Amino acid sequence: MSVDFRANDPATGREVVLTVPSADSIDSPKLLRRFYHEARAAGGLQHPNIVAIYDLGSDRGNPYIARELLQGEDLEQILEREKKAGVRSAQSAATMLGYIVQACRGLGYAHQRGIVHRHVRPSSIFVTRDGTVKLTHFVNARLQEASSPLSAGIMAGTTDYTYMSPEQIRGDRLGRSVDIWALGCTLYEILTYTTPFLDENVTATMFAIMSEEPDPISELRPDLPAELDAVLRRALKKDRSDRYQSMEELLADLEPVVRRMQAAGQVP
């Protein structure tokens, strides 16, 4: 849908990522609307854990988005590297959980301003070289009015069922609970190197999401605090009313555990 260039802003001298529509999308009104959507969704969010959008405009009829240049790697890349290296320690888990804490803060800020991300997963959580998390991939984000949840739709938010919540599969009206569920799936994945409901095919994965419980973290990672089981059980409740109702509520349970783990392993 788009092409990224590393560019320089002559007005400020800073390096940016300049995104322009691909040749296919420039002639498609639908794809062009999607091109602008991410910038409009994230553009009003000013938070240290959300990628910054600097400018959205058009030059001689050619639309562009200028955003913060990020240097580092996303959680998906970090996970793949650690899997290959066989890294599986409490200290490594504490570092990864610290990234999740930052992601929760960014998502909480977005939710407070009526934005539901709808594409939370390791690939949308970017870690810069100094360890700062930046939420990216707001292309599926939606504005939730204070008086009503988001529109329904099984495919709303993602075509990857791995991180899809039960209410998305049912086609219910959606809200911030979908981000809380997907964050829980991501949290499970960084600790176990596997997603909680992934099965051999789409139908089996959907059935698992709707009716099965993932293996407890305490069975897969006995080296980690047992409190993580309780956090994940609540984040992945099938009924969204039983789930955490906000990222702040989730953080109240998760952050103390992460701090103890980091202190024990002297993780910054």
State residue 49's pLDDT score: 97
What is the pLDDT, as a whole number, of residue 268? 59
In the chain, where are the structural domains located?
2-68, 72-265
Mean pLDDT, range 45-58, rounded to an integer? 91
Q: Quick check: 156 pLDDT over 50?
A: no
* Residue 162 reports pLDDT greater than 50: yes
- Does residue 157 carry a pLDDT above 60? no
Does the domain at 2-68 match CATH 1.10.10.60? Answer given as: no
Report pLDDT for 59: 85
- Which string of DSSP letters, residue by residue, matches the chain? -EEEEEEE-TTT--EEEEEEE-TTGGG-HHHHHHHHHHHHHHHT---TTBPPEEEEEEETTEEEEEEE---EEEHHHHHHHHHHHT---HHHHHHHHHHHHHHHHHHHHHHHTTEE----SGGGEEEETTS-EEE--GGG-EEPPTTS-B---TTTT-S-GGG--HHHHHT--B-THHHHHHHHHHHHHHHHSS-SS--SSHHHHHHHHHH--PPPHHHH-TTS-THHHHHHHHHT-SSGGGS-SSHHHHHHHHHHHHHHHHHHHT--
72-265: CATH homologous superfamily? Answer: Transferase(Phosphotransferase) domain 1 (1.10.510.10)
Share the mean pLDDT of the chain: 87
Res 150 pLDDT > 70? no
Higher pLDDT, 27 or 11: 11
Confidence of residue 2 (pLDDT cuts 50, 70, 90): confident
Q: What is the pLDDT of residue 5?
A: 92
Q: What is the pLDDT of residues 72-129, one digit of tens each?
A: 999 999 999 998 888 788 999 999 999 999 999 999 999 999 999 999 999 999 999 9
pLDDT above 90: residue 38: no
Please state the rounded mean pLDDT for residues 55-84. Answer: 90
